[in-house]
């Protein structure tokens, strides 16, 4: 047998002859002991050990699913003395069930020791136990399945189990020593079961070992589950992965039947297991002998996540069982506590301090790693590896010092909880008060003359004498303030003397007193403008004053508003007592318009002010200045008016290059010469020495003009063609502050020429009004030259008109010139020299007389007199410059004529259009492209030259002559030439078929003495003719006759086609017909061949001789006519009928006849 101890043997009982619905009771009995040794000790489900066994093997089960019934617990087993199994299971335990097919178990009896005895927990040497099973049949047969457990040394002890039974076997049977009947409870009848017995016996070494793993938690924790792995020898069937809770739970592996090495490993990687350590692995064993060597593979204890394992060998022949207990303990924890003592009003709380913990694998209570630089707060609890040393520290906190520390370093063991407490206290603030005295303006007080007053919380001394070295007081955290009392005449500066002091602070308050010297302010009044004015105060003050505001007044107001000055001041400056010098420096303000000293006044700024007498100079001395007194000095300055010049030319402002300083007239684009504007005392003229002068444009400088002064201003040395007249000078006055002033708006301009050097000077007078800031003078020079137009007519005289446009001077147009009225025979006329402002003028010869063309046009005079020409538009653009005459000459010549005539064949065609195009080395009056028709002509107006005319020949025409090539035409000459064209004709070939309307296509070919467009090959049908386009000539058309057709007539031979003529000819064809001769034999289908012969009035293709059979007809192709067919009758045959006599066949017709 393959069974071993601790196995469950499957049993089944097949019951037949049942009555469905009846209740039955059947006894089951098994040997419990044999020779004092335990055999089968209790019942189980039939497939507990052999999970794949089929109770219904062999088809012995009724159809349907089985029902189950719990196997009751045998109290005799549980109450046995000595080592014994303990049965403790629920009725639903699937390992302890009866199964029945074909019935439903309704109950079981209690267990009975039916053979032998059981007393005081002991079975007799040989004993059997029995049990009654009651069921209700649902079929005529039923099958009951259960299992018998083979006792094992693990339950009863080594040497006391079935494997030790020698001799006869032990049994499982139906029936028992006290009841051997199968009872029908429904009809109360019984039947004898007979000998339904199964015996078994184990081999001598059929041992099974057990392995049990127990998990112990300290503390006990059913929620902490630890994963285990098991390695085992090949053939062992223990679970290789399982999990146990830390509450004493266990797992057992039964039925170990192979020998070898086992390793049990606990991994602490489960959820929440980070807080545990494995502190011990304790293994025990039973057996003969038991396992004695257990190797723990790690040095314990270990902390999560480090695993722990034990390795050992089991030899089943020694009946060895192993029990291993894994004990886990919690890692130690450290709680951080902060105590804060605020003795001096500090406000730090325990949560404000930062802890740090260093140790081995420090974690928070969620298993997150805590590094030594992580910040922890009071109340935080951390855990770490058991047996590891640790240190808890804190960061420094400003204003606090450590008072005590307890429990913050050492070693922590498993399940240990320790508290680290650090106590801090606030540090009392200290304030140092320093008194510093400065006597730099004559004072004599010292530090001790001042009393220092300190306010705050718990100040150790609130009043103390001033000390240059400083005095220290203590106080509590909060606001503080330091003031003083002492000698008058000193200004105090406080640094660090008020605010909030915090615990741990050591602030320093410094009060500095300085004696107060006199102060001086400089005030500036600026008349005529604003500027920045440098000044100085001895001994070492140098600065400047920028004035603002002020006005030049409004002379047009009623009453007029007088000018007011711009103002500015320095504010007060600290100065030494005694004497100082106050001075202004105008040297940097002399660029026109310059500033000048006007007046100065000084005073002590009392109420009312006290005047101080000073000299009227840009530099004044102020004496007897006293400590703590305020003074001021006021300087008044006046600015010259600024006289800038603007240049205009013919009313336009020149455009000037900022780099080259070259200016141009925007109208003419001509460069403007440099002009000089000179200022003289009024009534003085060149060649006297001027007060000042500027050149331009551009005028990059201004001339100064003091208020109330009168001047003569001259524009000197004007070049030829330039002039300045009264009305050409305009003046705009701007008063200081922005108002508009007044001056002679258009002063009279007079001429003051000089002989040596010879020059033209144009002068005018001005007077500078009071309060004027700017006098802007615009000088508008008139720049003028002359323009003349000359007409030259080659080959005759006529009247010619011109227009002048584009320039700044407007001319009355048109200007008319007649070459016959001036200098007869010279063919020339001209205008006078017409004055013109400088610029570019466009001259256009408008509407030349018929028969004339422009030959040439040019302008002479100044350089670049001809700006541009547009001969096609009879235009020339001339440049007019100052003092010079520009002469523009137009030369015209008369046209010649080229007349082109059109000749056509036939001459009657006067509608076809022939496009022509003339070209040549001369000029052709547009258009050069024209159209002619038969018999028409066109007249080309041309200049002297050689010309040719080409033609675009229309479709259907040929050019047969052109005398219009390289025709020479002289001036005024008329030449005539001719282009001849011949029109092509048409030969139309028509097809007539018999029968009419036949669609057959006939190939034709035309040839002849002329030219055929596209060649002579073509095709026709009865419905479609062929149209040949041909030049005049004689033509013939041939035809390729298709098979089955005959040509009847061809009228397309030697057909004459004239120019433009259309001629039609015809070709007639007849289609051949068919006579089909059929043979009918009796009997039908006979293969005999019959000779026939056809004759008639038409033509038979291939002759009349032929043969036919019953299966093969004869098709004769023939021309229209009447036909008969005769037959040579073979021997053995008779002709019954011949319908092929006098058969009429028309053109293209198919007739069928029969010979029988």
- The string of pLDDT tens digits covering residues 376-410 is 999 999 999 999 999 999 999 999 999 999 999 99
pLDDT tier at 523, thresholds 50, 70, 90: very high
Question: What was the pLDDT predicted at 560?
Answer: 64
Question: What was the pLDDT predicted at 752?
Answer: 86
Q: Which residues lie below 8 Å from residue 72, measured CB to CB, with a gap of 6+?
A: 108, 110, 111, 131
> Per-residue pLDDT averaged across 947-964, rounded?
94
| DSSP secondary structure string for all residues of 804-842 | EESSSS---S-EEEETTTSSTTT-EEE---EEEESEEEE
Q: Could you check whether 519-639 and 896-981 share the same CATH topology?
A: yes
Least confident of 238-247, 308-317, 539-548: 539-548
- What's the CA gap between 600 and 622, in Å, rounded? 12
CATH number of 333-426: 2.60.40.1140
Is the dihedral angle over the CA atoms 1031, 1036, 1041, 1045 positive or is it negative? positive
Q: Per DSSP, what are the bridge partners of residue 287?
A: none
Phi, psi of 862 (to 5 degrees): -70, 165
- What's the CA gap between 832 and 815, in Å, rounded? 11
Question: What was the pLDDT predicted at 699?
Answer: 77
Is the dihedral angle over the CA atoms 348, 352, 358, 361 positive or is it negative? positive
CATH number of 519-639: 2.60.40
pLDDT tier at 777, thresholds 50, 70, 90: confident
> Per-residue pLDDT averaged across 288-305, rounded?
95
What SS3 state is found at 95?
A: coil
Confidence check: pLDDT of 824 > 70: no
The answer to whether residues 726 and 781 touch, using CB atoms and an 8 Å cutoff, is no
Domain regions of the chain by residue span: 8-200, 209-330, 333-426, 432-515, 519-639, 641-781, 784-881, 896-981, 985-1071, 1073-1155
Q: Which of 352, 599, 634 is nearest to 521 (CA)?
A: 634
Task: Count Cα neighbours of 42 within 13 Å in the Cβ-side half-sphere.
Answer: 26
- What's the CA gap between 160 and 78, in Å, rounded? 16
> Per-residue pLDDT averaged across 997-1006, rounded?
95
Phi, psi of 588 (to 5 degrees): -85, 5
| DSSP secondary structure string for all residues of 577-602 | SEEEEEEE--GGG-SSSPEEEEEEEE
The answer to whether residues 1110 and 1155 touch, using CB atoms and an 8 Å cutoff, is no
Q: Which residues lie below 8 Å from residue 830, measured CB to CB, with a gap of 6+?
A: 788, 789, 790, 791, 817, 822
In CATH, 432-515 is 2.60.40 = yes
Give the strand order in the sheet containing 321-330: 250-256, 209-218, 321-330, 276-286, 302-303
- What's the CA gap between 95 and 7, in Å, rounded? 12
What SS3 state is found at 690?
A: coil
Confidence check: pLDDT of 467 > 70: yes
- What's the CA gap between 1153 and 1140, in Å, rounded? 5
Q: Which of 169, 202, 197 is nearest to 35 (CA)?
A: 169
- Look at domain 209-330 and name its CATH class: mainly beta
Confidence check: pLDDT of 823 > 70: no
Token pair of 1149, please? 């017709």
Q: Which residue has the tokens 């619905």?
A: 21
CATH architecture of 1073-1155: Sandwich (2.60)
Q: Which residue has the tokens 């109950």?
A: 107
pLDDT tier at 1, thresholds 50, 70, 90: low
Confidence check: pLDDT of 471 > 80: yes
- The string of pLDDT tens digits covering residues 67-104 is 999 999 999 999 999 999 999 999 999 999 999 999 99
- What's the CA gap between 1054 and 1036, in Å, rounded? 5
- The string of pLDDT tens digits covering residues 556-591 is 565 766 777 879 898 999 888 889 999 999 999 888
pLDDT tier at 983, thresholds 50, 70, 90: very high
Residue 349 parent element (H or E):
none
Confidence check: pLDDT of 821 > 90: no
Share of the chain above pLDDT 90, in %: 69
Q: What is the CA radius of gyration of the chain?
A: 73
- What's the CA gap between 140 and 187, in Å, rounded? 15
- What's the CA gap between 476 and 458, in Å, rounded? 6
- The string of pLDDT tens digits covering residues 1022-1066 is 999 999 999 999 999 999 999 999 999 999 999 999 999 999 999
Question: What was the pLDDT predicted at 348?
Answer: 95
Question: What was the pLDDT predicted at 818?
Answer: 84
- The string of pLDDT tens digits covering residues 103-130 is 999 999 999 999 999 999 999 999 999 9
More confident site: 738 or 628: 628
More confident site: 830 or 1125: 1125
> Per-residue pLDDT averaged across 252-256, rounded?
93
Question: What was the pLDDT predicted at 825?
Answer: 66
Buried b (16+ CB within 10 A) or exposed e, 88-123: eeeeeeeebbbbbbbbebeebeebbbbbbebeeebb
Q: 846: alpha, beta or left, given left = phi > 0 and alpha = psi -120 to 50?
A: beta
Question: What was the pLDDT predicted at 1137?
Answer: 94
3-state per-residue secondary structure call for 1080-1129? CCCCCCCCCCEEEEEEECCCECCCCEEEECCCCCEEEEECCEEEEEEEEC
Residue 506 parent element (H or E):
none
- The string of pLDDT tens digits covering residues 316-362 is 999 999 999 999 999 999 999 999 999 999 999 999 999 999 999 99
> Per-residue pLDDT averaged across 27-53, rounded?
95
Question: What was the pLDDT predicted at 737?
Answer: 67
pLDDT tier at 442, thresholds 50, 70, 90: low
- The string of pLDDT tens digits covering residues 689-738 is 998 888 888 877 777 777 678 889 998 888 888 888 888 888 888 777 67
Burial of residue 64, with CB atoms counted within 10 A of its CB: 0-12 exposed, 13-18 middle, 19 or more buried: exposed
What is the reported pTM?
A: 0.45
Question: What was the pLDDT predicted at 1119?
Answer: 94
What SS3 state is found at 164?
A: helix
Q: Which of 719, 859, 850 is nearest to 796 (CA)?
A: 850
More confident site: 913 or 767: 913
pLDDT tier at 822, thresholds 50, 70, 90: low
Q: Which of 39, 317, 331 is nearest to 166 (CA)?
A: 39
pLDDT tier at 60, thresholds 50, 70, 90: very high
Select the CATH number that applies to the domain covering 985-1071 from these four: 2.60.40, 2.60.460, 3.30.70, 1.20.140. 2.60.40
Is the dihedral angle over the CA atoms 176, 182, 184, 190 positive or is it negative? negative
Mean pLDDT of the chain: 91
- What's the CA gap between 820 and 849, in Å, rounded? 14
> Per-residue pLDDT averaged across 125-138, rounded?
97
Residue 428 parent element (H or E):
none
Share of the chain above pLDDT 70, in %: 98
Strands 875-880 and 834-837: unpaired
Question: What was the pLDDT predicted at 516?
Answer: 83
DSSP 275: G
Confidence check: pLDDT of 872 > 90: no
Burial of residue 1150, with CB atoms counted within 10 A of its CB: 0-12 exposed, 13-18 middle, 19 or more buried: exposed
What ranges make up the beta strands (E) of 907-984? 914-920, 929-932, 937-942, 945-951, 957-962, 967-969, 974-983
CATH architecture of 784-881: Sandwich (2.60)
* Bond into 1031 cis (ω within 30): no
pLDDT tier at 922, thresholds 50, 70, 90: confident
Token pair of 206, please? 């059929």
CATH number of 896-981: 2.60.40
Count of beta carbons in the 10 Å neighbourhood of residue 56: 14
The answer to whether residues 515 and 443 touch, using CB atoms and an 8 Å cutoff, is yes
pLDDT tier at 593, thresholds 50, 70, 90: confident
Length of the chain in residues, anyone? 1156
Q: Which residues lie below 8 Å from residue 912, measured CB to CB, with a gap of 6+?
A: 904, 933, 934, 954, 957, 983
């Amino acid at each position: 047998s393959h069974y071993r101890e601790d196995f469950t043997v499957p049993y089944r009982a097949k019951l037949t002859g049942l009555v469905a619905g009846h209740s039955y009771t059947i006894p089951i009995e098994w040997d419990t002991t044999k020779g004092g040794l335990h055999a089968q000790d209790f019942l189980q489900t039939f497939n507990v050990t052999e999970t794949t066994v089929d109770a219904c093997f062999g088809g012995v089960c009724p159809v349907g699913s089985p029902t189950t019934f719990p196997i009751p617990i045998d109290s005799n087993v549980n109450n046995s003395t000595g080592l014994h199994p303990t049965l403790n299971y629920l009725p639903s335990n699937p390992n302890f069930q009866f199964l029945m097919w074909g019935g439903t178990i309704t109950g079981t009896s209690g267990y009975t020791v039916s053979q032998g005895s059981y007393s005081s927990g002991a079975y007799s040497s040989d004993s059997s136990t029995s049990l009654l099973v009651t069921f209700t049949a649902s079929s005529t047969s039923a099958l009951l399945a259960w299992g018998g457990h083979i006792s094992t040394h693990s339950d009863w002890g080594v040497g006391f189990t079935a494997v030790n039974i020698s001799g006869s076997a032990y049994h499982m049977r139906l029936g028992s020593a006290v009841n051997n009947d199968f009872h029908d409870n429904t009809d109360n009848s019984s039947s004898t079961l007979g000998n339904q017995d199964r015996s078994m016996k184990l081999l001598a070494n059929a041992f099974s070992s057990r392995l049990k793993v127990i998990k112990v938690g300290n503390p006990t924790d059913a929620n902490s589950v630890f994963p285990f792995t098991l390695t085992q020898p090949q053939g062992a069937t223990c679970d290789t992965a399982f999990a146990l809770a830390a509450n004493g739970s266990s797992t057992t592996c039964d039925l170990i039947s192979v020998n070898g090495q086992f390793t049990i490993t606990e991994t602490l990687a489960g959820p929440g297991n980070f807080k545990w350590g494995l502190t011990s692995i304790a293994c025990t064993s039973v057996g003969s002998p038991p396992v004695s060597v257990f190797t723990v593979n790690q040095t314990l204890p270990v902390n999560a996540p480090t695993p722990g394992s034990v390795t050992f060998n089991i030899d089943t022949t020694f009946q060895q069982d192993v029990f291993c207990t894994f004990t886990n303990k919690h890692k130690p924890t450290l709680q951080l506590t902060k105590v804060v003592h605020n003795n001096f009003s500090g406000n730090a709380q325990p949560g404000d301090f930062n802890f740090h913990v260093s140790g081995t694998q420090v974690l928070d209570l969620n298993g997150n790693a805590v590094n030594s630089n992580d910040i922890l707060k009071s109340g935080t609890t951390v855990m770490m590896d058991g047996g590891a040393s640790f240190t808890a520290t804190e960061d420094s906190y400003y204003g606090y010092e450590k008072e005590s520390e307890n429990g913050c370093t050492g070693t922590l063991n498993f399940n240990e909880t320790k508290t680290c407490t650090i106590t801090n206290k606030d540090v009392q603030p200290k304030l140092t008060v320093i008194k510093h005295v400065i006597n730099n303006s004559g004072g004599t007080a010292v530090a001790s003359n001042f009393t220092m007053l300190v306010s705050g919380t718990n100040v150790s001394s609130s009043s103390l004498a001033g000390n240059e070295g400083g005095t220290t007081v203590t106080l509590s955290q909060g606001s503080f303030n330091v003031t003083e009392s002492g000698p008058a005449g000193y200004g105090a500066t406080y640094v660090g003397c008020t605010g909030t002091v915090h615990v741990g602070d050591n602030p320093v308050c410094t009060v500095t007193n300085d004696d107060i010297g006199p102060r001086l302010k400089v005030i500036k009044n600026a008349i005529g403008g604003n500027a920045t004015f440098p000044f100085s105060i001895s001994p070492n003050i140098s600065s400047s004053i920028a004035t603002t505001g002020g006005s030049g007044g409004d002379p047009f107001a009623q009453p007029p508003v007088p000018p007011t000055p711009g103002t500015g001041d320095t504010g007060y400056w600290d100065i030494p007592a005694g004497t100082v010098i106050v001075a202004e420096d105008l040297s940097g303000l002399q660029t026109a318009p310059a500033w000048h000293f006007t007046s100065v006044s000084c005073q002590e700024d009392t109420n009312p002010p006290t005047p101080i007498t000073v000299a009227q100079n840009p530099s004044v001395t102020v004496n007897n200045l006293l400590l703590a007194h305020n003074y001021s000095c006021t300087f008044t300055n006046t600015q010259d008016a600024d006289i800038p010049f603007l240049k205009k030319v013919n009313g336009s402002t020149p455009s000037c290059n900022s780099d080259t300083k070259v200016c141009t007239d925007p109208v003419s684009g001509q460069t403007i010469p440099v002009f000089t504007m000179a200022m003289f005392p009024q009534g003085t003229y060149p060649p006297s020495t001027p007060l000042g002068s500027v050149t331009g444009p551009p005028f990059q400088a201004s001339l100064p003009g003091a208020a109330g002064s009168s001047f003569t201003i001259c524009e000197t040395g004007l070049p030829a063609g330039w002039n300045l007249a009264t009305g050409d000078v305009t003046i705009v006055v701007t008063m200081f502050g922005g108002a508009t002033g007044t001056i002679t708006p258009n002063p009279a301009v007079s001429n003051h020429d000089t002989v040596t050097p010879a020059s033209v000077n144009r002068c005018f007078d001005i007077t500078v009004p009071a309060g004027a800031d700017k006098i802007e003078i615009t000088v508008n020079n008139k720049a003028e030259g002359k323009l003349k137009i000359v007409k030259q007519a080659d080959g005759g005289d006529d009247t010619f008109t011109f227009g002048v446009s584009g320039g700044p001077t407007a001319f009355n147009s048109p200007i008319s010139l007649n070459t016959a009225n001036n200098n007869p025979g010279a063919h020339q006329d001209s205008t006078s020299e017409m004055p013109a402002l400088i610029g570019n003028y466009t001259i256009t010869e408008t509407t030349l007389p018929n028969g004339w063309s422009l030959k040439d046009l040019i302008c002479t005079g100044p350089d670049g007199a001809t700006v541009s020409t547009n001969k096609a538009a009879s235009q020339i653009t001339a440049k007019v410059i100052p003092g010079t005459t520009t002469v523009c000459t137009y030369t015209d010549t008369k046209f010649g004529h080229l007349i082109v005539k059109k000749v056509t064949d036939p001459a009657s065609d006067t509608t076809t259009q022939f496009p022509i195009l003339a070209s040549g080395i001369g000029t052709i009056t547009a258009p050069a492209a024209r159209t002619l028709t038969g018999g028409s002509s066109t007249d080309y107006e041309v200049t002297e030259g050689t010309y040719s005319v080409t033609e675009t020949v229309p479709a259907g025409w040929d050019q047969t002559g052109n005398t219009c090539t390289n025709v020479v035409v002289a001036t005024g000459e008329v030449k005539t030439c001719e282009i001849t064209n011949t029109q092509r004709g048409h030969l139309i070939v028509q097809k007539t078929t018999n029968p009419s309307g036949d669609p057959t296509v006939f190939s034709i070919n035309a040839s002849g003495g002329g030219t055929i467009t596209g060649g002579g090959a073509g095709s026709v049908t009865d419905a479609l003719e062929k149209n040949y386009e041909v030049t005049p000539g004689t033509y013939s058309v041939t035809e390729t006759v298709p098979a089955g057709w005959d040509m009847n007539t061809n009228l397309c031979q030697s057909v004459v086609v004239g120019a433009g003529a259309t001629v039609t000819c015809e070709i007639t064809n007849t289609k051949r017909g068919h006579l089909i001769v059929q043979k009918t034999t009796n009997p039908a289908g006979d293969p005999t061949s019959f000779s026939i012969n056809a004759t008639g009035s038409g033509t038979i293709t291939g002759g009349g001789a032929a043969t036919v059979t019953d299966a093969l007809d004869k098709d004769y192709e023939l021309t229209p006519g009447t036909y008969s067919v005769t037959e040579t009758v073979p021997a053995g045959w008779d002709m019954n009928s011949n319908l092929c006599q006098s058969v009429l066949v028309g053109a293209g017709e198919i007739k069928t006849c029969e010979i029988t």
